[in-house]
Structure 1
């Protein structure tokens, strides 16, 4: 990061902190442009253990550095989420999936590129490199690459996956605009405002389609989400069969 950009990020960071001390919503608008300053601020906050809100290709999410145990605990507290309910992770590029998950024989790079980036979460066997305090005792993890340039850039620059969950209290509706989770603002480092998500398609509020690919040659739909039929069509085109118990 250049000295000029670093100084700008520092100024934005100080301004956000000052606004937050007065309980004003710490909002950075990224709807019109994805600036280096905004990206630098997001990464700085995540590295310091803060929780930030980010737009995805479906709904708004709140994110923490998945390798930071204290940040994960904070994420659960803000969400009001039961600690027994696992978190998914987000990476910046389909090629990054294999860094954090073991890819079974049926999960080729071609399949990853066909599904990702997009509104799909793949449940795969996790690697030991992933923080053991993230979903302890669970051998698999949900991983996704949202089709949104800002969150992908944040994950790439951070260098570790984001622990990601929807920006709402547990059991409440997911959010398509930042005002829908204003009750969380004061708990967040910054709200990155990407405008209203989903366009006129209300199905985006369903979140990503979650599919289990742990069993070689088979898939199992865990959550239908907003991309069910496209996801099933792609999986079957690669010769992967739906698992029937």
Structure 2
């Protein structure tokens, strides 16, 4: 059931979480599928509904720093600096977990990924539920992430207890995941907070491009994918034009492209706007009945790193 995110409905959603149910809710990044993070049975429903493999850990969402102190063993100086600067916001920190975090949340890893979302509906839901909320994206596993309540309703329908409609997610790509387990901070997943901004606070960080071991969400080589195949192109000359193709452009072009459906992420090439529109554009293209989607490569600076990460994973390209 999809409902507007009014105060009354947020209270209803909080009571559903308390009782072990599932609620889809907006964050500033994408819509999440939430359950009580301290209730193993409730968290298991997330994996069941999404058809998510058990080796893929979940992010825990909090509304107060006091909860972080309970969920992790230690908050070091680097974490404190980042929290002061970027929380609430699209930054997830990976730290050593405490014993109260169920193993199903962390896929058996000794670490837990935690963030404080900036969306007022998400924060109000966590407050009403009175518990941290585990929440991956509210979609079938591996498919395009949802940035509207309509995306959630179309993909998960009546498989979950409630969908809180809080409008379109403003950032549009998932949070940046930063591991602080080792001496060298490592970005496990680029996302809504540009790496350059993190480096201004704690110095140089490493970007982990690929791995054989899954340490955070979004690390599988194929993810965020439409059902229609995607091919990334750098020059329009690479497009095999026709009335059965879809094209995803970074910005407006004067060149005429013969295609069944064209989506433009940003008229003037603004990376924030492009990130915000990415998943919605992929949903539109995937619904257009095209044979293949040609996606334009984007400059890998700022949010462009996260956008290209999603496009490569959507195409299955490492």
TM-score (norm 1): 0.77
For the pair 1:215 / 2:215, whether they are aligned, the reply is: no
Deviations 1:205-237 (CA, angstroms, capped at 9, x unpaired): 321111101124x3101011121232332332x
RMSD: 1.9
Report whether the alignment pairs 1:46 with 2:21.
no
Structure 1 residue 163: deviation in Å? 0.7
Q: Which residues in structure 2 correspond to 1:33-182 (within 5 Å)?
A: 34-35=6-7, 37-107=8-78, 109-181=80-152, 182=154
Q: Which runs of 5+ in 2 are unaligned?
A: 209-318
SS of 1:165's equivalent?
coil
1:190 equivalent in structure 2: 162
How far apart are residue 156 of structure 1 and its match?
2.4
Deviations 1:127-158 (A, max 9, x none): 11222442252100110111011211222232
Structure 1, 189-198 or 124-133: larger mean CA deviation: 124-133
Counterparts of 1:69 and 1:195, CA distance in 2: 30
The structure with the largest alpha-carbon Rg is 2
CA offset digits 1:64-119 (Å, max 9, x no partner): 00111111111001111101111110001244322211234324544312121001
RCO (CA 8 Å, sep 6+): is it higher in 1 or 2? 1
1:233 corresponds to 2:200: yes
- Structure 2 partner of 1:27: 2
The list of structure 1 runs, each at least 4 consecutive aligned residues, that deviate by more than 4 angstroms after superposition, is none
**Structure with more helix by fraction:** 1
* Residues 22 and 33 in structure 2, CA contact (< 8 A), matched pair in contact too: yes
TM-score w.r.t. length of structure 2: 0.61
Q: Which whole-Å CA distance do the structure 1 matches of 2:156 and 2:42 have between them?
A: 16
